[in-house]
Amino acid sequence: QQQVKQSPQSLIVQKGGISIINCAYENTAFDYFPWYQQFPGKGPALLIAIRPDVSEKKEGRFTISFNKSAKQFSLHIMDSQPGDSATYFCAASRTSGSRLTFGEGTQLTVNP
Amino acid sequence: GAGVSQTPSNKVTEKGKYVELRCDPISGHTALYWYRQSLGQGPEFLIYFQGTGAADDSGLPNDRFFAVRPEGSVSTLKIQRTERGDSAVYLCASSLSFGPVGTGELFFGEGSRLTVL
């Protein structure tokens, strides 16, 4: 009930391409879905977040798509850049600011 | 500093020893969280504080782990009788508010890497 499944485990894209990372959750009580970006040796940093009352949220090159009936959400990175190379984690929680359940992470490499 | 500060950044200890890890949250943040991140894995929730009290400690793996936040600011994670399986990066995070009020964004520190030999 508390798991968040993330795929793929690793992803390689060319500069300018689209990176897509998917997550699925089980607990229907979850109502806050953030994505975190983590660089080596650093702590995770919030990238973008969505609540289930909308199906899509866009901030710059980053878009979250949310499918409540399928209990799935995804991160799309448009025009991927080498500086986007990092590990991305999806997460979910019951209310904003309460304990987050993280996915296993996706290591993204953007080749120049 | 402006961010979450964690000390030490690296700690190497021997099996059976006692370890303390410190977290200094962003000033004014009332909620504080401890997570553990093993290599190649996502952060795993341990405990969070709202003010001085532990609002949820259900993620602590066993009674060797304990955390305090006596004045509602700095927190210390304490691990007794360390085991090799405790080796991980221990992340601290703070947020401005808890619950549906506010953005709920967690600000993470860079972590304390614990290695138990």
The answer to whether residue A8 scores a pLDDT higher than 70 is yes
Distance between CA atoms of residues A62 and A108, nearest Å: 14
CB contact under 8 A, B104 and A97: yes
Shortest alpha-carbon distance between residue B83 and chain A (Å): 23
Distance between CA atoms of residues A68 and A55, nearest Å: 8
pLDDT score at B101: 44
* pLDDT digit string, tens, across residues A34-72: 999 999 999 999 999 998 889 999 999 999 999 999 999
CB contact under 8 A, B45 and A101: yes
Distance between CA atoms of residues B92 and A89, nearest Å: 16
The answer to whether residue B98 scores a pLDDT higher than 60 is no
- Cβ-based contacts of A103 with chain B (< 8 Å): 42
CB contact under 8 A, A43 and B48: no
If you search the block for the tokens 């795993």, which residue do you land on?
B44
CB contact under 8 A, A43 and B91: yes
Comparing B103 with B70, which gets the higher pLDDT? Answer: B70
What does the mean pLDDT of chain B come to? 92
pLDDT score at B33: 95
Cα dist from B117 to B13, B61, B114, whole Å: 6, 19, 10
**CA B109-B44-A45 angle, 5° bins:** 35
Please state the rounded mean pLDDT for residues B80-94.
97
